[in-house]
Amino acid sequence: MSKIAVIAALERELRPWVNGWSTVTLDAGARCLRVFENADLVAVAGGIGCANAEHAARVVVEKYRPQTLISAGVAGALIHSLKVSSVILPNVIVDAATGAEYRSTFSGEIIGGGILVSVSDIAASPDAKSKLVEQFHALAVDMEAAGVAKVAQQAQIGFRCVKAISDEAGFKMPPVSRFVDTAGNFETAKFAAWVSVRPWLWARTIALGRNTGRATKTLCEWLTKNLQPPDVSVNGARLAEAKQ
């Protein structure tokens, strides 16, 4: 049994943290998941999107029976006070597609706050982000946290969300969503080829890559420093460490 399982979208979001960990491959139906293991911790990249994150979380819960699920990765800022590489720990996750809300409770020195909304498509423009603020009063947006939170709630285990900001509220994203395949993989080579003949997108693409790298570095530093088996609750259900 693992105490904590971390679910991200892409391996690049976890790579600085899981470097040197052992790996196993799990059969997850239509795809295989590479799971990184280190003592009481496991981590997996389930793919972009809530459905892929939910599926990966279910596979990990079935295999490892963790006490806590963590949705980790990069997110977009919806308010101007959040800057690139800021780390947030929202205590409310909203699924934009269903309106479902999920809550995390933190203990010790870990303090969470604010709302993160999980959406089905990348919030690519400042206008799209403004609409999410108006509708959900959220601080940030991602595409996976609600899927992980749903599994944690149903399994009655702990949940936490840790995100680092990769794009600020006023940043206009390149059209990256069209390069996400059905398994939640980002088709980097196809995107690079497409952008290469559109010079008006070069500056934004370079900025996004640089900022995502900064966010990933900060996220992994946070995970290394702070990740400990927490005493958390999901929607009020208290958890205690499993007895040996």
pLDDT of 238 higher than 60: no
Tell me what percent of the residues of the chain surpass a pLDDT of 70. Answer: 89
Amino acid 129: pLDDT: 93
Give residues with Cβ within 8 angstroms of 183, minimum separation 6: 30, 31, 47, 52
Half-sphere exposure (CA, 13 Å, Cβ side) for 180? Answer: 15
Q: What is the mean pLDDT of residues 78-97?
A: 95
Q: What is the mean pLDDT of residues 137-154?
A: 96
Q: Considering the domain 4-238, what is its CATH architecture?
A: 3-Layer(aba) Sandwich (3.40)
Amino acid 104: pLDDT: 85
Q: What is the mean pLDDT of residues 130-146?
A: 95
Amino acid 2: pLDDT: 66
Contact 21, 29 (CB under 8 A): no
Q: What is the mean pLDDT of residues 133-141?
A: 95
pLDDT of 153 higher than 60: yes
Residue bearing tokens 């995107």: 191
Amino acid 191: pLDDT: 93
Q: Distance (Å, rounded) from C-alpha 84 to C-alpha 72?
A: 16
pLDDT of 1 higher than 70: no
Q: What is the pLDDT of residues 101-121, one digit of tens each?
A: 999 866 655 667 899 999 988
DSSP code of 180? B
pLDDT of 202 higher than 90: yes
Q: What is the mean pLDDT of residues 227-233?
A: 48
DSSP code of 242? P
Instruction: Quote the pTM value.
Output: 0.88
Give residues with Cβ within 8 angstroms of 244, minimum separation 6: none
DSSP code of 85? T
Please provide the average confidence, as pLDDT, over all residues in the chain.
88
Contact 20, 55 (CB under 8 A): no
User: Which amino acid is residue 132, in one-letter code?
Assistant: L
pLDDT of 233 higher than 80: no
Amino acid 82: pLDDT: 94
Q: What is the mean pLDDT of residues 65-77?
A: 95
Amino acid 43: pLDDT: 97
pLDDT of 185 higher than 80: yes
Amino acid 181: pLDDT: 86
H/E segment holding residue 98: none
pLDDT tier at 124 (50, 70, 90 boundaries)? Answer: confident
Q: What is the pLDDT of residues 156-173, one digit of tens each?
A: 999 999 999 999 999 999
> Would strands 31-38 and 41-45 be described as parallel, antiparallel, or unpaired?
antiparallel
pLDDT of 239 higher than 80: no
Residue 208, Cα to own-chain centre: how many angstroms?
Answer: 17
